[in-house]
Chain A
Amino acid sequence: MDIQFIGENLLPGKIGQFFIVLSFAASLLSTIAYFFAVKNKDEQDKSWTKLGRISFLVNLVSIIGIGSTLFYLILNHYNEYNYVYAHSSKELPVYYIVSAFWEGQEGSFWLWAFWQSILGTILIWKGKTWENGVMTVIAFSQVFLTSMLLGVEIFGQRIGSSPFILLRDAVDLKSMAPVVFADPENFKNYLKFIVDGKGLNPLLQNYWMVIHPPTLFLGFASMVVPFAYGITALWTRRYKDWVKPVLPWTLFAVMILGTGIIMGSFWAYEALNFGGFWAWDPVENASIIPWLTLIAGVHVLIAYKNTGHAFFTAMALMLMSFILVLYASFLTRSGILGDTSVHSFTDLGMFGHLIAYILAFVIISVYFIATRWNELPITHKDEETYSREFWMFIGALVVTVACLQVIVTTSYPVFNKIFGTSKLISNPIEYYNKWQSGFAFLVTLISGFSQYLKYKRTDPRRFYSSLISSIVFSLVLTALFVYFTKVYTNLMFILLTFSCLFAVLSNARLLTGIFSSKGSKLAGSAIAHIGFAILLLGALVAAATSKVVSINATNQIDVRDFEKNQKPGENIMLFKNEPKKMGKYTVTYISDTTIAPNTIYTLNFKVIDAAGKVKEEFEVNPNVQQNEKMGLISSPDTKHYLTSDIYTHMTSVKANEEEHGDHEGHAEEENFKAPRIVTLAVGDTIHTSSGVLTVNPINRNPVVKHLKLAPSDLAIGLPLVVDVSGKIYKAEPLFLVKGNNTFDFARNIEELGLRLRFTKVLPDQNKFEVQVYEKPQQAKDWVVFKSIEFPLINLYWVGTIIMVVGFLISIFRRKKELKTS
């Protein structure tokens, strides 16, 4: 007899699982139906197409059904489901529940499948004569994606991983809490003990994580469309008319994927603390690999459209791009990168499954290319050197080789696995930068001068004469730019600056003709090229000249075991309210606020000139989460200027500890160091560790609660002011003569860890005795932080936006062409 568990909601999971099976079956049926629709030679008979459509729509509906069910489960915290338990928790606000939804493998596969079914539906509607072929391929791809969610066992082999698996099936509850669940009564009622889910990784609790995954996966999903068009063109032998319908889709895929990738880099910059926007992490590489080949594909395709050359290259790049999408998801999802990447998924038993997915599509591509080889419109003529298509082709080649470099280097763990080696690349980031900056130089250079070339043939003399002014102008600009941004440390940086500026100028020249019919045609590509070049320039300057600013100006700490020969550390420690000089900045840790689970710190940055005037002042609010499971999680905050960013994150903070409550038997002074006893007159100042203390004129009529003064009594207040780099704290300790006794009432400034006593009046000297108690440093709040300056990083974001606008214009242009033809 099975155990009857108490309190589980099993129905939603069953509905969800039903939708998964339905979506899988429907996409399989759709593939078969569309396949026969292509085979069917009778133009009048639409029955196969109809069946294909209906089953694909059933697939769409069930995909939405899966998503709604899963969302319902997460929203209601049904922790009996493993996915809910593992990725969400009750403290998450609704918008982060959305990101919890796609944190796991299954959720992100769902997202991909969702977009693919949306795109498929659009193609049913808009595909016209291409529908049957294209939809066969897309539905087939959908079969693989939905099978990843199945989570059923066939012949002892688990296929896919379902988001509706119950917690008690996924996890061995009894080993989780052996003592508790040894009691069968407790075990039956296990849900009573699962009070909350494990929550979302705090690094993902960022608004970019709400929109970055959907964009990225729309990009991945849209890569199937050019592939499907390519296969259909080969299959149905429509080699020539393939170009026009595929172009807008290819541009769309390139645009969306590019945007998704850069959103990811923005997330890295805003929420992660690896100190930058791009780190050549394998997961980042996996997303850029297909983007590069598709970019190359777009260019060769346009060249083919205008000249009839390079058909095979265009086709091969289109097909390859989708296969690389699959390879990229294999890299990130099979667990093979486990040792090299921090954010790859672990193996959910999809290793073989993912390989099958790749192989299926490789075989389809190879089969069609091989069987159609002799019919393909391949020309064997050399291109003219002075022609646009020749340089488009070369540009595409450079991009492909650049992509190859990324693939091979990223695939190192795969080679290790295949050959049983354990090699590693000593300095991957430098290695990538070195090669990729060379490729970027070539690409921008080509995208610049090829704008002066026409298709087919250009007169070399005219080409050079029109080129010369741009070159001279770019050289001047480069000199200025390099001087002001200080990127002259490296020849490659100078060359790249030149090539980027040259690309911007050359493409901008095209825009002058934007209102003529010919000029407006090229506007999209010119704008996209300009955006790309600006983006590269921004990335170059920010990466090449970023510098750590949190270097202590007086870094002389003599600690045993810490030899002087080391480079100065990049982290600075600050005590609360004790300003410290750091380069041109004076930094003060002003306050912190805890809004569970995060603590937000306020650091004040000031630039003080020689005359002591504050020239510049700002505050940053980095936050820290002291996560039980993951330790200290720190999110940066950035001060944005037009020309640079100051990026700051905490690297260590004082651990939260129990407040030391007031209770009997403790002297007030026990938390303080021995006092400093000083005699001061009105207007005198002394330095304390937190700031400058000034004595204000005495107050003869202090108001003190619960204190009745007889006429003979005397009470004096001594107003003291502490100035902590501009911030004022006040305290008024009290001196009292009552009868024959003297008393004093101390005052504390909690924020500064300061206790002040007014202990004597010295009337003959017109002075007062004050005792200053300070907390020892160990007891004060402190933070350790790191600040990095990124110059001109705004160029990176601006370039992105310009590039996307360029893509949009191109898409509309290519769509218009489609209509007019």
Chain B
Amino acid sequence: MRKSAIIGLITIAICIGFLVSLNAETDTYSNFNEASSSNKEEHVIGHWEKTKGTHYDAIKDPNHFAFYMKDEKGDVKKVVLNGTKPQDFERSEKLVVIGKMENETFRASKILMKCPSKYNDEMVEVSQDGQVKQYKKS
């Protein structure tokens, strides 16, 4: 067999190996219900339940941030992150929390937030005295 053919085969093998591993590394978004019966870290997608606010008291513990999130099925669960309150949390449009469910509380090791992009236009209200106020897009 020619050397170039061997090299070609090895290359193809590596590429297949990597595609297979990629498939193994992928996951789909889950919800609180599924997360409670899973024993690995899950990605739960949802929205911050604004009415219940957030809880972060750096004086008590700088590594404890808690809030309530409503997942796509409509379940509302408490989420606790071992860290500070992420920048921009209030502005998030969508959240992905990564972690495990433990006794009705979701222990997040990481929070991803989808915020209106900083390159995006944002509605602001300019009031008469020149004050600029944020204006919520409906």
A-side residues, CB < 8 A to B, are 86, 103-105, 170-171, 175-177, 180, 193-196, 198, 201, 203, 338-339, 342-346, 382-383, 385, 394, 397, 401, 404-405, 408-409, 412, 422-427, 431, 435, 557, 559, 561-562, 566-573, 628-634, 651-652, 654, 777-778, 782, 784, 786
Contact = CB atoms under 8 A, between A and B. Distances in A.
A372 to B, nearest CB: 22
Contacts of A570: 63, 83
B84 A651 contact: yes
B124 to A, nearest CB: 6
A193 B128 contact: yes
Nearest to A393: B7
B27 A423 contact: yes
B128 A180 contact: yes
B58 A573 contact: yes
Contact of A424 (B19, B27, B128): B27
B25 A426 contact: yes
Contact of A557 (B29, B61, B124): B61
Contacts of A345: 117, 119
Given A175-B123, A180-B128, A566-B107, 20 more contacts: A177-B127, A177-B135, A180-B127, A203-B118, A343-B118, A345-B119, A401-B14, A424-B26, A424-B28, A431-B22, A435-B21, A557-B60, A562-B80, A569-B82, A573-B58, A651-B62, A652-B56, A652-B62, A652-B84, A784-B84
A427 B87 contact: no
Given A630-B88, A631-B90, A784-B58, A427 B25 contact: yes
B21 to A, nearest CB: 8
Given A346-B120, A404-B15, A634-B87, A385 B7 contact: no
B73 interface: no
B41 interface: yes
Contacts of A343: 118
Nearest to B135: A176
Contacts of A397: 7, 11
A559 B14 contact: no
Contact of A425 (B26, B89, B122): B26
A567 B82 contact: yes
B111 interface: no
A652 B89 CA distance: 12
Contacts of A344: 117
B126 to A, nearest CB: 4
B118 A177 contact: no
A193 B125 CA distance: 10
B58 A652 contact: yes
A631 B26 CA distance: 32
A423 B28 CA distance: 5
Given A176-B126, A346-B119, A571-B62, A651 B83 contact: yes
A8 to B, nearest CB: 16
B82 A566 contact: yes
Nearest to B19: A408
Contact of B84 (A175, A176, A571): A571
Interface in B44-92: 56, 58-64, 66, 80, 82-85, 87-91
A104 B119 contact: yes
B64 to A, nearest CB: 5
B20 interface: no
Contacts of B62: 569, 571-573, 651-652, 784
Contacts of B83: 569-571, 651
A435 B126 contact: no
